[in-house]
Amino acid sequence: MHGLRFTKSFPSHERKPTRIARAAVDQSAPLYTKFSQPVYSLATQGTASSGGRGTLNLLTYASPIAIKPDRCFAIGLYLGTASYANMKAHRRGVLQVLGSRHISLFHLLGKTSARDIDKHAAIQTAGFRLQERYGIMTLEDAVSVMELEVVSDFLPCGDHDVVICRVESYENFSEDAQDVLYTSALRTAGFQ
């Protein structure tokens, strides 16, 4: 069989090319960048260089990748951030699923640095409460939380490093997907 090619065609299954008016299709970014995904916040413990102060950030590059034998997530960590340094130092954090009520925290979690502002204090000033879970301060009203442990190397991917994390434990506080903040809501609100 080595080197043989099948040349019989099946006319009833032939694909016919479809012409698409290129002007009507947005080519400014790959289509996958427009898919709606849950919005997360990664809560981490502080390090000596951060004065021991933990932080929370906004994280949209997160995807579940395995269920058995362990539940695992792949997450993208933005280089140079306090969250990146904390995850690299401690190799653990709490991934929180944000609710639609957290959209007002977008700027604080995603556009400010824990090096410049005490995010825990700012979150409380914004009217949200914190609760310690798995030894790390988290949003009290998160939709769900997952305790993560880094189980891979930090893989360079441009302006982010990707890590594989095992879900050590989790808690769901809502079963309704309508409670979850999605990236489409951020785009609609003009944040992305």
pLDDT confidence of residue 52? 77
Which pLDDT does position 50 carry in this prediction?
A: 67
Tens-digit pLDDT string for the chain (192 aa) = 444 444 444 445 454 554 444 456 678 889 988 899 999 999 999 987 666 789 999 999 999 999 999 999 999 999 999 999 999 999 999 999 999 999 999 999 999 999 899 999 999 999 999 999 999 999 999 999 999 999 999 999 999 999 999 999 999 999 998 999 999 999 999 986
- For 136, counting Cβ atoms within 10 Å of its Cβ (0-12 exposed, 13-18 middle, 19+ buried), the class is buried
Note the pTM of the prediction, 2 decimals.
Answer: 0.84
Q: Let me know if 122 is exposed, middle or buried by CB neighbors in 10 A (0-12, 13-18, 19+).
A: middle
Q: Is 13 helix (H, G, I), strand (E, B) or coil?
A: helix
Residue 58's pLDDT is: 96
Q: Give CA–CA dist 20/6, Å, rounded.
A: 31
Question: d(Cα 105, Cα 128) in Å, to the nearest integer?
Answer: 9
In words, the CATH class of domain 38-188 is mainly beta
